[in-house]
Structure 1
């Protein structure tokens, strides 16, 4: 832990927690404009959260503590990732947690907690959504691990900050076969993990096609607000990882005001740009049938394996 890591952790916490609803608002607004609608404005997600957080939480009869603590677990794990990952600075507030395996485990823990909450309700739709989510996560998490591990092979460390620093020192790696394969695999992972088209439709209200929404149908009030807030933060965190693992320029490497300001600006610009591209792409995509989703995720896992294979071959001395 050093000054750069502590300051960066505070800045990242503020940016992800306060800025993630605005990112969702920007993405919804872009999609609305491309579909010929006016849209509700980029501040609408914040207004929705404010309304939900003021309401009383209602717990369905027969649910256990699993249902009650799942939103807190989802928020807590996401906040830890937001603090330790290299978003604004290359140094981490808690360097041991800024490891590939620790970060992926934290993200998976939040997903599993929400799936268990869906099962805990005992409803048909909750169980259906949880089973679908587990099918997706069984393919997504290995892909996430392997694709980032492909980048760590040439660095000799699974620390995310070390991977970003290595790319800064050798920019040519960005266009290497390893990075390109890993980037495509990671894009598919982000689409699946955050419930975007074509894997899931975040704006659907048809229960038979829901994945994420089916698990949270029984939540209301503050609990629903926390779940929605955590989902926005997870989207921001995933886009931040994608941006800085492959295009890390602008990230702060020193604890000077100018470097930190540049790091904040670079993070915001890159995440918003990726969010705009993601939402614009959704306009031209249709949701895949559920039985076709594993094929897409299996293809991304194959790409991540190819990235690891290429990284070992390219790392061999000539």
Structure 2
């Protein structure tokens, strides 16, 4: 069990690392097609990363350890989250450590690292982007905690593997008012956490509208490649987490090679479908004004609170 479970974790992390740029390529392709353009190849993000890795690393004058440590820390924390979250199997050697609070803390650590790097540059845009990013994070992370906590109440545990297993054994709870409210709140939080429309536009470089891009302006070469890869991995992991919690069917509950292979294929299909749907929706969405973003995130937080309240009364705790 330990050998196959370890292989499942390794395959899960490898799929996230290798598939994250491809997911970005698929989303860009879908968006280009809907906008009437041919668009770049699906593998273009991997080519961009390879080009950046070949360039010379440039560090701005006056920056300290925070700037240099942010890119590898972002990738490392996201890789650990990819290993903990039950995307492929609920019975792995790290399943007992896949706690909700730990996962959110690791995501927050990556966000703080990039924000500190933006501040460390001493530029106006870096400080502006860091301030905006931390404002969004302060509203998003409590929403994720409450939304998943609402799904965990029937299980009685904040362990993500236990929550997914409970959803597999009792799928009715996923269609309950608490489950639907929690899924809606989590979906909005994922959009904000990954810097997608309508909260942020990853394709823009306008100084007055940037959030994540403003903190990454001073990165170049391999550092920029790591930041881009880490951002793409976060999108893949969070979409996979959303799929696992709202539609856990296909996740392996045993450690047989056939079940794990089927789970990897199902995970790829679900994340690709969510990514394509998100890209299609972004064609028709406009970016919100910065002062309207807290209203949207406050609304998602309210949905999470209602989900917890509904789950409390439905479970009779």
Matching residue of 1:37:
37
Matching residue of 2:246:
246
Matching residue of 1:93:
93
Matching residue of 2:57:
57
Matching residue of 2:214:
214
C-alpha separation between the residues in 2 aligned to 1:5 and 1:302?
A: 38
Equivalent residues of 2:6, 2:92 under 8 A apart: yes
Give the Å deviation of 1:257: 1.9
Equivalent residues of 2:91, 2:255 under 8 A apart: no
Give the Å deviation of 1:84: 1.4
Matching residue of 2:316:
316
Matching residue of 1:149:
149
Within 5 Å, give how 1:255-294 maps onto structure 2: 255-294=255-294
Residue 184 (1) aligns with residue 222 (2): no
C-alpha separation between the residues in 2 aligned to 1:169 and 1:5?
A: 21
Matching residue of 2:134:
134
Residue 84 (1) aligns with residue 84 (2): yes
Matching residue of 1:111:
111
Give the Å deviation of 1:206: 0.7
Q: TM-score, length-normalised on structure 2? A: 0.98
* Corresponding residue SS for 1:207: coil
* Corresponding residue SS for 2:208: helix
C-alpha separation between the residues in 1 aligned to 2:245 and 2:56?
A: 40
Give the Å deviation of 1:4: 4.8
- What is the RMSD of the two structures over their aligned residues, measured on CA atoms? 1.1
Matching residue of 2:14:
14
Deviations 1:199-249 (A, max 9, x none): 000000111100000000000000000000000000000000000011011
Give the Å deviation of 1:5: 3.3
* Corresponding residue SS for 1:115: helix
Give the Å deviation of 1:97: 3.1
Q: TM-score, length-normalised on structure 1? A: 0.98
Matching residue of 2:300:
300
C-alpha separation between the residues in 2 aligned to 1:198 and 1:207?
A: 17
Equivalent residues of 2:154, 2:311 under 8 A apart: yes
C-alpha separation between the residues in 2 aligned to 1:96 and 1:131?
A: 35
Give the Å deviation of 1:2: 3.5
C-alpha separation between the residues in 2 aligned to 1:109 and 1:133?
A: 13
User: Gaps (5+ residues) in structure 1?
Assistant: none
Evaluate the alpha carbon distance shift between residue 165 and residue 3 of structure 1 in structure 2; reply closer, same or farther with a 3 A threshold. Answer: farther
* Corresponding residue SS for 2:97: coil
C-alpha separation between the residues in 1 aligned to 2:2 and 2:253?
A: 12
Matching residue of 1:173:
173
Equivalent residues of 2:96, 2:161 under 8 A apart: no
**How many aligned residue pairs are there?**
317
Give the Å deviation of 1:299: 0.2
